[in-house]
Structure 1
């Protein structure tokens, strides 16, 4: 009996040691402790009964001992089995023992977890149907400027969804009611747009699955062309549900929630509060023409300056800006100086009107490059979405010297991407750069090793997209006024990082004697404007 009891105690002690390896096993430890106490009581009772009662028949004694031994050994085995089941359950659910990314990759057949992934919508890695994963999609919000067919509306993307999937489509159409229920599972959301100007230009998908929220921010409209032929950039990250509720959303989730509240009144927005955005690898940068009370740091150039300042950029540091855009308006040198300052956390009250252009390169295709991408003398698909008017280009204040040719890394492709790469001057370490900036010969501290950043999203290099800084008519405070709804992500670049993904050839070539692509002139016969 004592030999069995010792073995049992050892088994329970080993179980307790195993339980201590995992913080999630506290309940199991309490259960084992209670079991240990129960075992001790049984052993003590059994021992006292054996010594105090000499009249008990030997066969009865053995019968009691056998039953007790069997019960106790069964109890130990049950506890060990329960420990194994609990440990397996914790391994499946605990982000401490197994990262969310690994669990999600193996959670279902042919499932993929997206962890701040960036690429081209025309690559095999970013197939639209794989991103949407309609078989597992529960509900989703889809935002686009162009839907591919004005007569059919959102059908191209809606047809890719399950009939029982709740879908919400954010559509640019001024004057419509804010929310229109097209069918029990299909809702059309119309953002408020000021009269006579403004565009709902956001390209966004929020996809709700059982085990995550997928955030997709892109330059691509929800059209066949933008996801199969024309270059576009896309950022994708999955976020797990919250383990427990807490008061405030992390920065990424908080900004997204506030922004969407301006975009739509629909209650779908509140689903964001159910997810954990603490793993976000990017900062959101949005623009909105809607009135709000979030201050100058929330929108357009104001938001850009706030985020870059947070990264540790300073106005006097030397840095280069490279901006690929598919649309250019009345670009003017003073506004370009303001934009350049915002790229390093500053919003000067009086941007320069006479200084030469800053080291700011705007990538926009030449006519030669666009025509060379066509086949057999035809225009290449997507060229109708590349927009610049000659009257703007010929204006006295247009900084022609900043233009560079935009040529896709994919032969024969036209780019609709909006990408901005900002890097401190090449050939200098961050410490060398800071010594020059200080003028003291001593290196200043560089915040988190950030050497630059890259932007991906819907913003073109226009004042309508990024806005301008002016004094508020009501509060006399400075504010950023923009015409468009736009959204993108800004990702820090650190020392030792690989070069950022871009869909164009680097370094971009100067124009020389070449001219930019003037859409309306080339497409005057039989051409039609396309998505922006």
Structure 2
């Protein structure tokens, strides 16, 4: 599922943390061995890991950090080799391409005299960019700008990552088609891992300014990352507030006439001077809060208002960030933020909902997290308050006791599914779960379904939540709240948070450990191909979200064993 970049590296030799990148981890010895790459998943085999007494969810995140740091260090070494090779093997310039470049530059110069530009083209990083925001007044939703700017994805769309060896459909897309490096002017990229040599084949840093939101353990590592990168690549280092992961997958891509936001995929035209000013949408507000918390420069954040966000009015932006959150910040993050966004979009309901969750990693989850996410899918902000639905005509939901086995399904691949996949067990190094969590009496194993891709033999790295109500036809279902979450959050407390009552104030507070983000996409109309007859599986999502797994999915039997990361 195309939900932003998880940018990874091929590993050709043993990886070790550089001295400058050492961080306090609860491990005494970590040895990582490489393995072959397949199914678009990188395989990293880890042995001899001895953990001290820490929270199980923290263990996974810290292990991932150590792996990511090793990969980054190796990638920078490879980048130097690649750059040296490029300097000695520059191809002969193509006169046709040079003419096209000159024509494009002339066109851009003419365009620049007619309107103000979008994101700043000068000092673009996260340190002191001066780009004041223009104040906006309210406007109705409109088509792309008065200047007639045409954008590829004006309404927003969810695509699958195309995989070599599989036939391509209209649901598939390639990273090259997203980045469009010949036209890309500025890119803000957030990811868990980076392969700089690979990235430099997808983005032309001689013409594109790049900001990478990345993890760094300390100032020494930050300086090392800055000094080892090309001049046109800047870094933003979001605060971690303890143990956790920089796990969000977000791309903000600036082209000449529009802004592309990549969690799902939507293109927003640049407002011209002839356009009416645009009011902020909840999507834009939450996106700006997220970027501000990450540490992106205020000027760059405010410059987003130069684009027409009216098409995001019916979309929700949901995120998590590390730390404890109380007061007004409580309902902005984690599954509290999910419930708030669901209610704000008019999707709150007192009816039972059907929830299908697919993920690439599972934490040490318990029933309380499952129930919390389930109630958030109904529009609750937390376990003790009513949802903040302000839309007329929809009652606030009243929680009813439901049998979770009838309404909640967790899709995660079994060991057999991984073993029979195209790449086998050596291709599943980024699908994470631990046997001790599975064996815990508190783990909701009765909710587990085998995650089998609709593309035979292909493993998944998608994080998706599909929500709908029961109905006799697809039209009946879509008439009730129906929506999808597509983003970076796996099913864990680190990603979605843990809500407790503050002893001092008696009010709820939420703890998240990861940076995550995603989008809520409502389904308002039934697909034309399924307007009549009985619904089949998740037919109501056709044309909105390409469901990546077979549903409802086989239940785990007594003999079914999930895939365990440490068996990779």
TM range (shorter): 0.5 to 0.7
Q: Aligned pair in 2 of structure 1 residues 265, 117: CA closer, same or farther (>3 Å)?
A: closer
Q: TM-score, normalised by structure 1?
A: 0.65
Provide, for residues 478-519 of structure 1, a one-character-per-residue CA deviation record: whole Å limited to 9, x for no partner: 232211110000111224244242111122111223434333
SS in 2 for 1:259: helix
Task: Give unpaired runs (5+ residues) of structure 1.
Answer: 1-88, 90-94, 149-153, 218-234, 434-447, 524-532
Residues 508 and 289 of structure 1: CA distance in aligned 2, closer, same or farther (over 3 Å): same
Partner of 1:278: 310
Question: Residue 257 in 1 paired to residue 304 in 2?
Answer: no
The one of 142, 155, 175 equivalent to 2:197 is 155
Residues 374 and 380 in structure 1, CA contact (< 8 A), matched pair in contact too: no
Q: How many residues align?
A: 384
SS in 2 for 1:341: helix
What corresponds to 1:81 in structure 2?
none
Does residue 341 (structure 1) correspond to residue 389 (structure 2)? The answer is no
Shifted more, 297-306 versus 350-359: the winner is: 350-359
* Per-residue deviation, 1:100: 5.5
**Distance in 2 of aligned mates of 1:270 and 1:473:** 37
Aligned to 2:549: 504
Offset, 1:264 = 1.9
Paired position in structure 2 for 1:133:
180
Q: 1:507 to 1:247 in 2, by over 3 A?
A: closer
1:46-75 per-residue CA deviation (whole Å, 9 max, x = no partner) reads xxxxxxxxxxxxxxxxxxxxxxxxxxxxxx
1:52-451 to 2 correspondence within 5 Å?
Answer: 99=144, 104-105=149-150, 112-113=152-153, 115-122=155-162, 124=168, 125-148=172-195, 154-162=196-204, 163-176=206-219, 180=226, 182-195=229-242, 197-217=243-263, 235-243=264-272, 246=277, 248-266=279-297, 267-280=299-312, 281-290=314-323, 294-314=328-348, 316-346=350-380, 347-349=382-384, 357=405, 359-374=407-422, 378-379=424-425, 381=427, 383-427=428-472, 449-451=479-481
Matched-pair contact (CA < 8 Å) for 1:321–1:421: yes
Work out the CA distance in 2 between the residues paired with 1:258 and 1:290: 15
Kindly indicate whether the alpha-carbon contact (under 8 Å) linking 1:311 and 1:450 is maintained by their aligned counterparts in 2: no
Partner of 2:285: helix, strand, or coil?
helix
Q: Which moved more, 1:482-491 or 1:278-287?
A: 278-287
Alpha-carbon RMSD:
3.3
Q: Distance in 2 between matches of 1:205 and 1:511?
A: 36
How big is the shift at 1:452?
A: 1.2
Q: Provide the rounded CA distance (Å) in 1 between the counterparts of 2:514 and 2:296.
A: 18
Change (3 A) 1:311 1:97: closer
Matched-pair contact (CA < 8 Å) for 1:418–1:460: yes
Say whether residues 1:465 and 2:490 are aligned partners: no
Report the CA distance between 1:113 and its aligned residue. 3.9
Assess if the C-alpha contact under 8 Å between 2:154 and 2:311 holds in 1.
Answer: no
Deviation at 1:396, TM superposition (A): 0.8
Per-residue deviation, 1:210: 1.0
> How many Å separate the matches in 2 of 1:373 and 1:285?
32
Check 1:476–1:185 CA distance in 2 against 1; reply closer, same or farther (3 A cut).
Answer: farther
CA distance in 2, matches of 1:209, 1:116: 16
Distance 1:389 1:247 in 2: 48
Q: Relative to 1, partners in 2 of residues 1:269 and 1:136: Cα closer, same or farther, differing over 3 Å?
A: same
> Aligned-pair distance for 1:161?
1.7
What is the deviation of 1:399? 1.0
SS of match in other structure, 2:198: helix
Preserved CA contact (<8 Å) 1:176 1:190? no
Contact 1:386 1:517 in 2 (8 A): no
Higher normalized contact order (CA 8 Å, seq sep 6+, divided by chain length): 2
Question: 1:294, CA displacement in angstroms?
Answer: 4.2
Secondary structure of 1:136 counterpart: coil
Query: Higher helix fraction: Structure 1 or Structure 2?
Result: 1
Range moving further from structure 2, 118-127 or 503-512 = 118-127
Structure 1 residue 155, shift from structure 2 partner: 3.3
Q: In structure 2, what is the equivalent of residue 494 of structure 1?
A: 524
Mark the structure with the bigger radius of gyration.
Answer: 1
